[in-house]
């Protein structure tokens, strides 16, 4: 049996296109995307993953139509307080958020803090949700934090500790659904040795069979890390 991944990152792309091809609204597509997260959490536990990093809303997503952004903010707020959060709790995962929290609505930030507190004792692993997240923004924030602290010489560890994602694993695997083959500002520092998997399947249509196939393929790859 090959190596088993400890951490994966997922760019959950294709909600709107999935909905459009089925005569649904983009809002319905986003809701189906949230439902898929609940399935993913169960798959992650069954695969023995310790960490899943989900790209929920990027810094670039603020450029979308205001009504869509407002809907997504409300959808996130609902998700992190109801049955969707219970589904994560039941699998034993804790929830953590990274990103530019100051840009998010106060009501959503409150719900995020409640979700983190409510799940902090869960030991199966961590679901890390990137909201208002951009990899370059995370790196710049770390630089500014170190400057403000008057840091002298900085090494990789001290820099990593200054990042929003401090204390997390670098992802062994990054999956992008929806057909595009780029990382779109997702975890540029952390992904240098990640195995990349791109699928044309839209996020709401992503299946356990495809997920399991990616995990199996990862186990067959030789990871030399420059050696």
Candidates 13, 84, 170, 172; catalytic one? 13
Candidates 15, 61, 122, 161; catalytic one? 61
Buried b (16+ CB within 10 A) or exposed e, 78-98: bbbbeebbebbeebebbbbbb
How far, in Å, CA of 95 to CA of 88, rounded? 8
Token duo for residue 40: 């993913």
Is 83 designated active site?
A: no
Contacts of residue 117, defined as CB under 8 A and 6 or more positions apart, other chains included, come to none
How far, in Å, CA of 120 to CA of 116, rounded? 6
How far, in Å, CA of 125 to CA of 173, rounded? 16
Contact 128, 52 (CB under 8 A): yes
Is 61 designated active site?
A: yes
Full strand arrangement of the beta sheet holding 93-98 = 93-98, 125-133, 51-58, 7-11, 173-176, 195-198
How far, in Å, CA of 162 to CA of 145, rounded? 7
Q: Is 106 exposed, middle or buried (0-12, 13-18, 19+ CB in 10 A)?
A: exposed
Cα–chain center distance at 60: 15
- Residues carrying an active site annotation: 13, 61
């Amino acid at each position: 049996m090959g190596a088993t991944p400890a951490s994966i990152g997922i760019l959950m792309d294709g909600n709107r296109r999935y909905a459009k091809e089925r005569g649904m609204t983009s809002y319905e597509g986003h809701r189906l995307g949230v439902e898929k997260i609940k399935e993913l959490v169960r798959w992650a536990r069954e695969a023995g993953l310790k960490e899943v990093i989900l790209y929920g809303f990027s810094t670039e997503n603020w450029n979308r139509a205001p009504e869509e952004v407002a809907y997504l903010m409300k959808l996130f707020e609902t998700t992190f307080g109801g049955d969707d959060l219970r589904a994560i709790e039941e699998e034993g995962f804790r929830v953590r958020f990274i990103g530019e929290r100051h840009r998010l609505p106060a009501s959503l930030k409150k719900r995020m803090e409640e979700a983190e507190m409510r799940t902090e004792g869960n030991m199966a692993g961590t679901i890390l949700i990137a909201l208002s997240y951009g990899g370059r923004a995370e790196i710049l924030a770390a630089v500014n934090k170190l400057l403000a602290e008057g840091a002298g010489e900085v090494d990789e560890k001290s820099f990593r500790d200054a990042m929003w994602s401090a204390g997390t694993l670098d992802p062994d695997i990054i999956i992008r659904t929806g057909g595009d083959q780029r990382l779109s500002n997702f975890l540029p520092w952390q992904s240098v040795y990640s195995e990349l998997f791109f699928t044309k399947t839209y996020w709401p249509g992503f299946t356990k069979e495809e997920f399991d196939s990616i995990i199996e393929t990862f186990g067959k790859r030789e990871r030399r890390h420059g050696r």
